[in-house]
Amino acid sequence: MLDVKLLRQDIQLVAERLKIKGFSLDIEQFQALEQQRKQTDIQTQQLQAEKKSTSKQVGQLIQSGLSVDDAKAKVADSLKVIDQNLADVIEQNKTVNAALTDLLLSLPNLPDATVPAGQSEDENVEIACWGEPRSYDFPVQDHVDLGQALQGLDFNLGGKITGSRFAVMRKGIARLHRALAQYMLDTHCDQHGYEELNVPYIVNQASLTGTGQLPKFEQDLFKLDTDQNNAYYLIPTAEVPVTNLLRDVIVESKNTQGFTALPLKFAAHTACFRSEAGSSGRDVRGMIRQHQFEKIELVQAVYPEDSDAALEALTADAEAILQALELPYRKVLLCGGDLGFSAQKTYDLEVWLPSQQCYREISSCSNFGDFQARRMQARYRLADGKPQLLHTLNGSGLAVGRTLLAVMENHQCADGRIAVPKVLQAYMQGISHIG
Averages of pLDDT over each 10 residues, the chain, 435 residues: 97 98 98 98 96 92 88 90 96 97 97 97 98 97 98 96 96 98 98 98 97 95 83 97 98 93 98 84 86 98 98 98 98 98 98 98 98 98 93 98 98 98 98 97
Q: What are phi and psi of 294, to 5 degrees?
A: -115, 150
CA triplet 100, 105, 111: central angle to 5 degrees? Answer: 120
Q: What are phi and psi of 220, to 5 degrees?
A: -85, -5
Amino acid at the residue 80: K
**Greatest CA separation found in the chain?**
111
Torsional sign, CA 112, 115, 119, 121: negative
CA distance between the termini of the chain: 51
Helices 27-63 and 4-19, interaxial angle, to 10°? 170
C-alpha 303: how far from its chain's center? Answer: 18
Please tell me the total number of residues recorded for the chain in this structure: 435
Under DSSP, the state recorded for 109 is P
pLDDT of residue 72: 85
pLDDT of residue 278: 67
Rounded-to-integer distance, Cα 23 and Cα 119, Å: 11
pTM for this predicted structure: 0.94
Q: What are phi and psi of 243, to 5 degrees?
A: -65, -35
How far CA 201 is from CA of 164, 271, 290, 366, in Å, comes to 21, 7, 17, 22
pLDDT of residue 74: 87
pLDDT of residue 27: 98
Q: Are 248 and 240 in contact (CB under 8 A)?
A: no
pLDDT of residue 71: 86
305: left (phi over 0), alpha (psi -120 to 50) or beta: alpha
pLDDT of residue 328: 98
Rounded-to-integer distance, Cα 31 and Cα 15, Å: 13
C-alpha 19: how far from its chain's center? Answer: 21
Nearest to 150 by CA among 408, 425, 430: 408
How crowded is the C-beta side of 107, counted as CA atoms within 13 Å? 30
Under DSSP, the state recorded for 260 is -
